Amino acid sequence: MASPASSTSKQRDEYCCVPFCIGNARTNKELSFHHIPSEKKMRTRKQWIVAIRRDEGEFFKIGGNTVVCSKHFKKEDYRWTPNRKCLKPEAVPSLFDWKLNESSRKAPTSRQSLSTR
């Protein structure tokens, strides 16, 4: 039997563990979710944890429901197969809301909102 490529019938309770991200497997069906690499791939796993600015500890435990949503990956982080996209094994999440804020802070505060009149 062929395994279902994208079964949505199963209720998933995965949510994105990135701070400020509200990606949720139930409400954001357009997103894909990726588990943090297992301890066998400790190097990549560490890179992920650093990238999402979290630390394993009392308040953050990596488990089966700990995922990072596709909003944090670049297009190049995926490999496209004929019918679906796969995350490359060495991919590390790199797109975050706080990065947007950091870069927009440098922007000049001048606005053009009054010049249209």
What does the binding site for Zn ion look like in residue numbers (CB under 5 A)? 16, 18, 21, 23, 69, 71
Min dist CB 57 to Zn ion, Å, is: 20
41 vs 71, beta carbon nearer Zn ion: 71
32 vs 84, beta carbon nearer Zn ion: 32
The three state secondary structure string of the chain is CCCCCCCCCCCCCCEECCCCCCCECCCCCCCCEEECCCHHHHHHHHHHHHHCCCCCECCECCCCCEEEEHHHCCHHHEEEECCEEEECCCCCCCCCHHHHHHHHCCCCCCCCCCCCC
Min dist CB 98 to Zn ion, Å, is: 12
36 vs 69, beta carbon nearer Zn ion: 69
Min dist CB 36 to Zn ion, Å, is: 12
